[in-house]
């Protein structure tokens, strides 16, 4: 988990062009001024890096019955939440 979490943190840092130190696990991206288009670029970079598909729909981001929830994933609001979703999808890929 640590290795994936660290890579996720580095990708977020690189995509947002902000120092790695400013990203703690509980840092909420919206507090950094991240908008919808920034988030989908981060998701794209994560999908490319880990060869996974993150079922994120910008219209359902906050919906309890959205695509993320249907896939058994939590929200993508903090660094830790994003790392957990990536970990879950990587694990699913390995077990498949």
Applying CB under 8 A, the residues found at the interface with another protein are 35-37, 40, 43-44, 56-63, 65-67
Nearest approach in angstroms of CB 74 to another protein is: 17
Please give the structure tokens belonging to residue 19: 């120092």
Query: Helix, strand, or coil here: 17?
Result: coil
| Nearest distance in Å: CB 35, another protein | 8
Nearer to another protein, 19 or 33 (CB): 33
CB 74 within 8 A of CB 32: no
- With respect to another protein, which residue has the nearer C-beta, 24 or 58? 58
H or E element, residue 70: helix 67-70
């Amino acid at each position: 988990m640590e290795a994936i979490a660290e890579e996720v943190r580095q990708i977020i840092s690189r995509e947002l062009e902000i120092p790695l130190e400013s990203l703690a696990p509980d840092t909420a991206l919206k507090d950094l001024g991240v908008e919808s288009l920034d988030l989908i670029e981060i998701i794209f970079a994560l999908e490319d890096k880990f060869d996974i598909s993150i079922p994120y729909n910008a219209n359902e981001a906050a919906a309890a019955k959205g695509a993320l929830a249907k896939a058994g994933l939590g929200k993508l609001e903090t660094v830790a939440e994003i790392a957990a979703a990536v970990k879950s999808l990587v694990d699913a890929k390995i077990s498949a």
